[in-house]
Structure 1
Amino acid sequence: MSTPEYLIIQINELTTLIETRYPELYKFLEEEPLTLSTDVTKEIDENMLSDYLESLNQLLKNHVITHNKN
Protein backbone atom coordinates (compact mmCIF):
# COMPACT_ATOMS: atom_id res chain seq x y z
CA MET A 1 0.00 0.00 0.00
CA SER A 2 1.11 3.54 -0.68
CA THR A 3 2.02 5.97 2.02
CA PRO A 4 -0.51 8.68 2.88
CA GLU A 5 1.85 11.35 1.56
CA TYR A 6 2.17 9.60 -1.80
CA LEU A 7 -1.60 9.09 -2.02
CA ILE A 8 -2.19 12.78 -1.34
CA ILE A 9 0.25 13.66 -4.13
CA GLN A 10 -1.60 11.32 -6.49
CA ILE A 11 -4.96 12.80 -5.50
CA ASN A 12 -3.63 16.29 -6.03
CA GLU A 13 -2.20 15.42 -9.45
CA LEU A 14 -5.41 13.74 -10.55
CA THR A 15 -7.63 16.60 -9.41
CA THR A 16 -5.31 19.04 -11.20
CA LEU A 17 -5.59 16.97 -14.37
CA ILE A 18 -9.36 16.93 -14.06
CA GLU A 19 -9.42 20.67 -13.44
CA THR A 20 -7.28 21.52 -16.46
CA ARG A 21 -8.41 18.94 -19.03
CA TYR A 22 -11.96 18.23 -17.90
CA PRO A 23 -13.33 21.41 -16.32
CA GLU A 24 -16.87 20.21 -16.98
CA LEU A 25 -16.16 17.30 -14.64
CA TYR A 26 -14.16 19.27 -12.12
CA LYS A 27 -17.16 21.32 -11.04
CA PHE A 28 -18.79 18.12 -9.77
CA LEU A 29 -15.95 17.31 -7.39
CA GLU A 30 -17.16 19.98 -4.98
CA GLU A 31 -20.67 18.59 -5.18
CA GLU A 32 -19.49 15.16 -4.10
CA PRO A 33 -17.76 15.87 -0.81
CA LEU A 34 -15.18 13.45 0.41
CA THR A 35 -16.80 11.58 3.27
CA LEU A 36 -13.94 9.97 5.06
CA SER A 37 -15.42 9.43 8.45
CA THR A 38 -18.49 10.17 10.49
CA ASP A 39 -16.33 10.48 13.58
CA VAL A 40 -14.53 13.83 13.49
CA THR A 41 -11.96 12.55 15.96
CA LYS A 42 -10.81 9.82 13.58
CA GLU A 43 -7.76 10.46 11.51
CA ILE A 44 -7.71 9.97 7.79
CA ASP A 45 -5.92 6.72 7.04
CA GLU A 46 -4.34 5.18 3.97
CA ASN A 47 -7.41 3.14 3.11
CA MET A 48 -9.61 6.22 3.07
CA LEU A 49 -7.17 8.07 0.84
CA SER A 50 -6.80 5.07 -1.42
CA ASP A 51 -10.57 4.72 -1.72
CA TYR A 52 -10.93 8.39 -2.57
CA LEU A 53 -8.20 8.17 -5.20
CA GLU A 54 -9.92 5.15 -6.71
CA SER A 55 -13.24 6.98 -6.79
CA LEU A 56 -11.61 9.91 -8.62
CA ASN A 57 -10.05 7.52 -11.11
CA GLN A 58 -13.39 5.84 -11.73
CA LEU A 59 -15.14 9.16 -12.11
CA LEU A 60 -12.63 10.27 -14.73
CA LYS A 61 -12.65 6.94 -16.52
CA ASN A 62 -16.45 6.90 -16.75
CA HIS A 63 -16.50 10.47 -17.94
CA VAL A 64 -13.98 9.79 -20.69
CA ILE A 65 -15.81 6.66 -21.83
CA THR A 66 -19.21 8.36 -21.96
CA HIS A 67 -18.07 11.66 -23.48
CA ASN A 68 -15.49 10.57 -26.04
CA LYS A 69 -17.54 8.39 -28.33
CA ASN A 70 -16.17 9.84 -31.56
Structure 2
Amino acid sequence: MKNVHELLTKIADITREIETNYPEVYNYLNEDPMTIPNMEHPSVDETELREYLASLEMLLEKYKKDH
Protein backbone atom coordinates (compact mmCIF):
# COMPACT_ATOMS: atom_id res chain seq x y z
CA MET A 1 0.00 0.00 0.00
CA LYS A 2 2.90 2.34 0.69
CA ASN A 3 4.06 2.07 -2.93
CA VAL A 4 0.59 2.94 -4.20
CA HIS A 5 0.45 5.96 -1.90
CA GLU A 6 3.89 7.10 -3.09
CA LEU A 7 2.85 6.70 -6.72
CA LEU A 8 -0.34 8.70 -6.16
CA THR A 9 1.69 11.43 -4.48
CA LYS A 10 4.13 11.57 -7.40
CA ILE A 11 1.26 11.65 -9.90
CA ALA A 12 -0.36 14.52 -7.98
CA ASP A 13 2.96 16.39 -7.80
CA ILE A 14 3.74 16.13 -11.50
CA THR A 15 0.15 16.98 -12.43
CA ARG A 16 0.33 20.08 -10.23
CA GLU A 17 3.69 21.03 -11.80
CA ILE A 18 2.22 20.72 -15.27
CA GLU A 19 -0.90 22.68 -14.31
CA THR A 20 1.11 25.47 -12.67
CA ASN A 21 4.18 25.77 -14.90
CA TYR A 22 3.00 24.36 -18.24
CA PRO A 23 -0.73 25.14 -18.59
CA GLU A 24 -0.52 24.58 -22.35
CA VAL A 25 0.46 20.95 -21.65
CA TYR A 26 -2.26 20.52 -19.05
CA ASN A 27 -4.83 20.34 -21.88
CA TYR A 28 -3.23 17.06 -22.99
CA LEU A 29 -4.11 15.43 -19.68
CA ASN A 30 -7.79 15.04 -20.58
CA GLU A 31 -8.86 11.44 -20.24
CA ASP A 32 -8.89 9.46 -23.43
CA PRO A 33 -12.31 7.75 -23.73
CA MET A 34 -10.54 4.55 -24.75
CA THR A 35 -8.82 4.35 -21.36
CA ILE A 36 -11.88 4.97 -19.21
CA PRO A 37 -13.25 1.64 -18.00
CA ASN A 38 -16.91 0.91 -18.44
CA MET A 39 -17.21 -0.58 -14.93
CA GLU A 40 -18.75 1.29 -12.03
CA HIS A 41 -15.84 0.60 -9.65
CA PRO A 42 -12.74 -0.25 -11.69
CA SER A 43 -9.65 -1.58 -9.98
CA VAL A 44 -6.40 0.30 -10.49
CA ASP A 45 -3.27 -1.48 -9.44
CA GLU A 46 0.32 -0.44 -8.85
CA THR A 47 1.40 -1.39 -12.37
CA GLU A 48 -1.20 0.88 -13.95
CA LEU A 49 -0.22 3.75 -11.68
CA ARG A 50 3.46 3.27 -12.61
CA GLU A 51 2.54 3.34 -16.31
CA TYR A 52 0.46 6.48 -15.86
CA LEU A 53 3.26 8.21 -13.94
CA ALA A 54 5.74 7.23 -16.66
CA SER A 55 3.43 8.66 -19.32
CA LEU A 56 3.17 11.96 -17.43
CA GLU A 57 6.94 12.11 -17.04
CA MET A 58 7.47 11.40 -20.74
CA LEU A 59 4.91 14.03 -21.75
CA LEU A 60 6.58 16.68 -19.60
CA GLU A 61 10.11 15.70 -20.64
CA LYS A 62 9.19 15.80 -24.34
CA TYR A 63 7.58 19.20 -23.93
CA LYS A 64 10.60 20.62 -22.10
CA LYS A 65 12.92 19.23 -24.77
CA ASP A 66 10.88 20.58 -27.68
CA HIS A 67 10.24 24.02 -26.19
> TM over 0.5: same fold?
yes
Stretches (4+) displaced over 2 A: 31-36, 38-42
Q: Aligned pair count? A: 65
> What CA distance in whole angstroms lies between the structure 2 residues aligned with 1:18 and 1:34?
23
Greater relative contact order: 1 or 2 (C-alpha under 8 angstroms, separation 6 or more)? 2
Q: Give, in angstroms, the shift of residue 35 of structure 1.
A: 2.3
Q: Which runs of 5+ in 1 are unaligned?
A: none
Query: RMSD of aligned C-alpha atoms?
Result: 2.3
- Structure with bigger helix share is 2
CA distance 1:34–1:15, change in 2 (3 Å): farther
TM-score by length of 1: 0.78
Q: Which runs of 5+ in 2 are unaligned?
A: none
Identity of aligned residues (%): 37
